[in-house]
């Protein structure tokens, strides 16, 4: 049953997502990424269609509730309490456009309402704080509030779901059967937060105990704070569609890599600025900043901002603040757009060329170059060196779960380079022949440490501590925009935790990197429907675990396995001693010069 429910949930979730995407694509054409993205997520002509498709995935499983076309957002609820759900659905369906924004959170309320007697569908994403307050209120006067809840409840956010579930008596009756489990899930799962998904599963397993075992790794518990947003539900109304779409792309690693994220963010902000009109009674310089901060806070709920994004945003805000209030709006906007274009060109495009140019000089004939994961700047360097006729070998070290090195390997091999590909556990072997190590960066901290994809430190250390050989120089290619004034002593205090489900290898890894999967065609018929989603890394895992049956990974049930925790951490910190050289657009530096350059590049 659990599986069924899960499937169902996924289907619904997906439909919601799709609907939104659909929406975006029509409304906003985003950067290039978007274009690629569009086709991948199947273009459904109408929102309803897409929903249906999603539903169809699990028709058998989903009892009566599945049918509801309107479910787009609140769906889970409906499932849980089939009988009551119907009316709710209707109402929702009618409301759809309006409510969709408010979001999935309603579902929780809805089921409760239905069971109890009409608490009804207040389905909006809830902010945690609001939720708690709300839950209490509900206890006191559930029934009386029925209607009120629908409207107001929306505010409460999905995060609070667990609390709500517990607090509500109405839910408990349902719990008895599958429906009970579903109802609990409903609230949580409905707002398709990635993080929430797992939680719900756990809860279903042991129904009475909501609190269950804490699945966060205690050392890193401070990093679990906020789960990544799963839908656009609950986004502030000020958030521009381009930004909404970008947020989801960031979350799904469609736009991945520090520079790419920075550029995409700036381009999205450019669109925001283009479509911005200063409200009466304010000045652009003042109001635009707050307007942007809505966008920024939305983006940061999708995925924590990268160092480069932070720096770019700071520069942009500075530029906005520097605008003379008497400047007419149109010219101010033009200035800002120019600023963004220049910024991208100077700090990233040209910087990359300069870096690649000076990094190429360090490559000599006969070198064996080790690199980790898929850094764009390293790729550029290696390609350019190859173009200049240098003969060298490349050994790519890659790691789960993102497999970023694969696309690098493909590009390099297609360009005619000699490429060896291995995973990080083969590092000691790969490093044996190495003569140089080239690394990309997510950021560099002020104590000269390198903050980059997890595994980088291991590669750097292997190179420096290689037994019985000459030291291998470790070279980092990094734009100065990635320099940060923060200090990192270890990988624990500051880091980013991704959904641990990514580690459950239920799906063929191709789906994680978005490679075309030769085996995909043999995959179960379910695939096609989900295919659209497959393009983005995140959602697939969920589906894999539940829907895809044949050989579940031993980790598939990790949430239900006592004493088992999975840690999917994104970054690590490489000590400065392991880095010989940092190549930036301002020249080659020792890691100790990072703070000086950072100061100079920000102050000037």
Partner 1 sequence: MATTTESTPAAGAKPFDIVATYNELLRSDPDLTMPIAAIEALVLLLTHSPSSTISETLDLLAQSTAHLKKAIPNPIGLSAGTDLFQRYLITTLQRPGQLGPAGDFKAIRTHLLSNGRLFIRRAKESREKIVAFGRGFIRDGCTVLTNGGSRAVASLLQKAADEEGGPSAVRFRVIYVLSSISMNIEEPSGEPEGMETVRALRAKGVPVSTIPESAVAYALGKADMVIVGAEGVVENGGIVSRMGTYQIGLLAKAIGKPFYCVAESHKFVRLYPLGQYDLPIEQHVIDFKSEEDITEQSEQPVDTSADRPIELPLCDSVDFTPPHLISALITDSGVLTPSAVSEELIKIWF
By CB under 8 A, name the binding residues for partner 1.
362, 436, 470-471, 473, 475, 580-581, 586-590, 592-593, 596-597, 600
| Closest among 108, 123, 196, 116 to 155, alpha carbons compared | 123
Give me the torsion for CA of 529, 497, 369, 259, rounded to 10°. 80
Shorter beta-carbon distance to partner 1: residue 421 or 438: 438
- Gap between the Cα atoms of 239 and 231, Å rounded: 13
Shorter beta-carbon distance to partner 1: residue 113 or 369: 369
Shorter beta-carbon distance to partner 1: residue 260 or 576: 576
- Gap between the Cα atoms of 289 and 363, Å rounded: 44
**Beta partners for 475?**
438, 581
Shorter beta-carbon distance to partner 1: residue 140 or 604: 604
Shorter beta-carbon distance to partner 1: residue 110 or 475: 475
Secondary structure (3-state) at 221 = helix
DSSP codes joined into one string, 25-59: HHH---SHHHHHHHHHS---SSHHHHHHHHHHTST
Shorter beta-carbon distance to partner 1: residue 367 or 404: 367
**CA dist 28 → 21, 38, 80, 473 (Å):** 10, 11, 35, 46
Largest Cα–Cα separation, the chain: 79
CB of residue 582 to partner 1, shortest distance in Å: 10
CB of residue 214 to partner 1, shortest distance in Å: 43
Q: Return the DSSP state at 481.
A: G
Torsional sign, CA 233, 235, 237, 243: negative
What are the φ/ψ torsions at residue 547 (nearest 5 degrees)? -70, -40
CB of residue 475 to partner 1, shortest distance in Å: 8
CB of residue 22 to partner 1, shortest distance in Å: 50
CB of residue 600 to partner 1, shortest distance in Å: 6
CB of residue 471 to partner 1, shortest distance in Å: 8
Q: Give CB contacts under 8 A, 24+ apart, made by 204-212.
A: 204/2, 204/5, 205/2, 205/559, 205/560, 206/560, 207/175, 207/180, 207/181, 210/162, 210/165, 210/166, 210/184
Torsional sign, CA 30, 31, 37, 42: positive
CB of residue 377 to partner 1, shortest distance in Å: 17
> What's the token pair of residue 21?
């995407």
Shorter beta-carbon distance to partner 1: residue 459 or 504: 459
Shorter beta-carbon distance to partner 1: residue 436 or 548: 436
CB of residue 591 to partner 1, shortest distance in Å: 9
CB of residue 247 to partner 1, shortest distance in Å: 37
Torsional sign, CA 15, 21, 22, 27: positive
Shorter beta-carbon distance to partner 1: residue 276 or 438: 438
Secondary structure (3-state) at 428 = helix
User: 3-state SS string over 230-285?
Assistant: CCCCCCCCCCCHHHHHHHHHHHCCCCCCHHHHHHHHHHHHHHHHHCCCCCCCCCHH
CB of residue 575 to partner 1, shortest distance in Å: 13
- Gap between the Cα atoms of 477 and 136, Å rounded: 53
Burial class of residue 281 (count of CB atoms within 10 Å of its CB; 0-12, 13-18, 19+): exposed
Shorter beta-carbon distance to partner 1: residue 415 or 596: 596
CB of residue 553 to partner 1, shortest distance in Å: 43
Shorter beta-carbon distance to partner 1: residue 354 or 593: 593
């Amino acid at each position: 049953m659990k599986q069924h429910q899960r499937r169902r949930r996924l289907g619904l979730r997906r439909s919601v997502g799709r609907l939104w995407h659909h929406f975006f694509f029509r409304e906003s054409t985003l950067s290039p990424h978007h274009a690629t993205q569009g086709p991948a997520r199947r273009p459904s002509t109408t929102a309803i269609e897409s929903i249906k498709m999603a539903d169809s995935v699990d028709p058998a499983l989903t009892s009566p509730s599945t049918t509801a076309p309107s479910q787009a957002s609140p769906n889970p609820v409906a499932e849980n309490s089939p009988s009551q759900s119907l009316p709710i659905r209707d109402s929702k369906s009618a409301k759809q456009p309006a409510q969709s924004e408010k979001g999935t959170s309603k579902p929780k309320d809805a089921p409760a309402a239905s069971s109890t007697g009409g608490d009804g569908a207040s389905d909006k994403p809830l902010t945690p704080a609001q939720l708690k307050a709300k839950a209490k209120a509900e206890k006191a006067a559930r029934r009386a509030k029925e209607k009120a809840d629908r409207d107001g409840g929306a505010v409460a956010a999905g995060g609070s779901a667990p609390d709500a579930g517990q607090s509500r008596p109405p839910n408990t009756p349902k719990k008895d059967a599958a429906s009970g489990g579903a109802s609990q899930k409903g609230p949580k799962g409905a707002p398709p937060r990635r993080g929430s998904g797992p939680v719900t599963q756990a809860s279903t397993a042991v129904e009475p105990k909501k609190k269950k075992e804490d699945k966060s790794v205690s050392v890193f518990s401070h990093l679990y704070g906020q789960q990544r947003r799963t839908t656009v539900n609950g986004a502030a109304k000020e958030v521009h569609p381009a930004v909404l779409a970008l947020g989801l792309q960031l979350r799904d690693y469609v736009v991945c890599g520090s520079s790419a994220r920075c550029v995409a963010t700036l381009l999205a902000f450019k669109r925001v600025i283009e479509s911005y009109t200063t409200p009466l009674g304010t000045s652009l310089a003042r109001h635009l900043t707050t307007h942007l901060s809505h966008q920024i806070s939305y983006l940061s709920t999708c995925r924590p901002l990268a160092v480069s994004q932070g720096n770019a945003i700071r520069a942009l805000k500075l530029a906005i603040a520097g605008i003379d209030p008497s400047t007419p709006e149109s010219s101010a906007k033009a200035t800002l757009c120019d600023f963004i274009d220049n910024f991208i060109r100077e700090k990233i495009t040209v910087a990359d060329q300069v870096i690649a140019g000076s990094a190429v000089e360090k490559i000599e004939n006969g070198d064996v170059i080790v690199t980790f994961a898929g850094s764009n700047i390293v790729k550029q360097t290696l390609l350019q060196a190859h173009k200049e006729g240098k003969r060298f070998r490349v050994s790519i070290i890659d790691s789960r779960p993102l497999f970023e090195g694969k696309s690098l390997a493909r590009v390099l091999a297609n360009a005619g380079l000699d490429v060896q590909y291995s995973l990080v556990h083969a590092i000691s072997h790969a490093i044996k022949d190495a003569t140089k190590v080239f690394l990309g960066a997510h950021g560099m901290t002020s104590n000269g440490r390198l903050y980059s994809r997890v595994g980088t430190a291991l590669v750097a250390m292997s190179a420096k501590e290689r037994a019985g050989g000459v030291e291998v120089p470790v070279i980092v290619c990094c734009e100065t925009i990635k320099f940060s004034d923060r200090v990192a002593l270890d990988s624990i205090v500051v880091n980013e935790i991704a959904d641990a489900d990514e580690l459950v290898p239920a799906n063929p890894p191709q789906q994680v990197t978005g490679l075309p999967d030769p085996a995909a065609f043999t995959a179960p018929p379910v695939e096609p429907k989900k295919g659209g989603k497959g393009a983005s890394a995140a959602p697939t895992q969920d589906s894999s675990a539940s829907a895809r049956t044949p050989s579940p990974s031993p980790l598939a049930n990790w949430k239900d396995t006592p004493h088992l925790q999975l840690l999917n951490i994104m970054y690590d910190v490489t000590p400065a001693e392991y880095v010989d050289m940092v190549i930036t657009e301002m020249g080659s530096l020792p890691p100790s010069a990072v703070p000086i350059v950072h100061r100079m590049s920000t102050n000037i």
